[in-house]
Chain A
Amino acid sequence: DAKTTQPPSMDCAEGRAANLPCNHSTISGNEYVYWYRQIHSQGPQYIIHGLKNNETNEMASLIITEDRKSSTLILPHATLRDTAVYYCIARTAGNMLTFGGGTRLMVKP
């Protein structure tokens, strides 16, 4: 599966949108972009995934560029409970999830 690159850390003000970027320039056509997050001392939690089209669910929105080389996870109104490490993973369906360094998001009051 393609390697992904994320900034190691980001800050966001409570109530504002958090935009977390991910670069996956070598992604292949059958690889999905998955986002998970891990709150301290818990197991990873699934957020959202997509292939080509933008996706939205009750937790977040995923914007994938037309060339699929990068994506952005958007948390529309960040709360303190969104403080976590966010992992962007490129993965072919059925392959195991391989975690990179992720982005440590700190939501501040």
Chain B
Amino acid sequence: GAVVSQHPSRVICKSGTSVKIECRSLDFQATTMFWYRQFPKQSLMLMATSNEGSKATYEQGVEKDKFLINHASLTLSTLTVTSAHPEDSSFYICSARGPSGKPSYEQYFGPGTRLTVT
């Protein structure tokens, strides 16, 4: 089946620093990648959608200058949390989808990255 990896699985950073999270599709080409955020005891909330080679589309209320998304290749997307603050501490999950018409057109999820900002 289609596999999506994320790195790192856990990261602790100091307030004011930036953190980059990588999401990779290991065995398929991900034309679209989705980034979700999940706070404790809450559901997943979509942050943004990105198509390879295009700018990401952000959901309402998500600051695009704070959460920088790059989807430069068909197997890699990155989320950079800039000037992180403690309220950015959360579980970040990426999801990847392949081209229409292929089995990988379904959404496949990464294992998530736990970000703690101190």
Tell me the A residues contacting B by CB distance below 8 Å. Answer: 38, 41-46, 87, 93-94, 96-102
Contact = CB atoms under 8 A, between A and B. Distances in A.
Interface of B: 4, 6, 34, 36, 43-46, 49, 91, 93, 95, 100, 105-112, 114
B49 A99 contact: no
Chain A interface main SS type: loop
Chain B interface main SS type: strand
A4 to B, nearest CB: 12
B114 A97 contact: no
Contact of A96 (B6, B34, B110, B114): B34
Contacts of A101: 43
A96 B107 contact: yes
A106 to B, nearest CB: 14
B114 A44 contact: no
Given A41-B91, A94-B100, A97-B95, A46 B106 contact: yes
Contacts of A98: 46
A86 to B, nearest CB: 12
A43 B43 contact: no
Given A94-B105, A97-B95, A102-B43, A43 B111 contact: yes
A102 B44 CA distance: 10
A99 B43 contact: yes
